[in-house]
Amino acid sequence: AETWWMHLVRVVVVKIQVISSSADKCIRVMVASCPDQRLLVQIMESCTAKAPPLRKLGLEYLCLACAAWKPEAIEKNATALKQVVKAAVADSDAAARKTARQLFWVLHNNPGMQPHMKKLLKDLDVPTQKHLQNEAGSDSA
């Protein structure tokens, strides 16, 4: 999976819709069905890309991995995931921030990640905390 990741992530943001949507679907299937620690590291790296659309997609793929994979696979990278979320909720791109808030709650629902996410929530500034709380409210509605 990690071999294909490098190639697919390059074309997922191209302007040709048929290519980018095919790459996106391929990545989503790969992420959902191939739990791999090295792939998780590559996904986290894409969350810090220069291009805002790629950061947003990286966060979406990370959300998918955290929701689809076994909790133990996610908990092994708790510190790195916490850092990714902390940086992403303060991203300059509004869409990436929104996806980061969704990622926060996906991780928060993982019992092994809950203590990390609660600590992160306390460490964030008040406006960001409010945005996260609002996101939780809008998801339950």
Give tens-digit pLDDT for 54-79: 999 999 999 999 999 999 989 999 99
Contacts of 31 (CB under 8 A, 6+ apart): 1, 39, 43, 61, 64, 65, 68
pLDDT at 3: 79
pTM metric for this prediction: 0.90
pLDDT at 31: 95
pLDDT at 7: 87
Q: Where are the domains of the chain?
A: 2-140
Under 8 Å between Cβ of 63 and 96: no
Collect the ranges in the chain with pLDDT lower than 70: 137-141
Under 8 Å between Cβ of 107 and 113: yes
| CATH number 3.30.1180.10 is the correct assignment for the domain at 2-140 | no
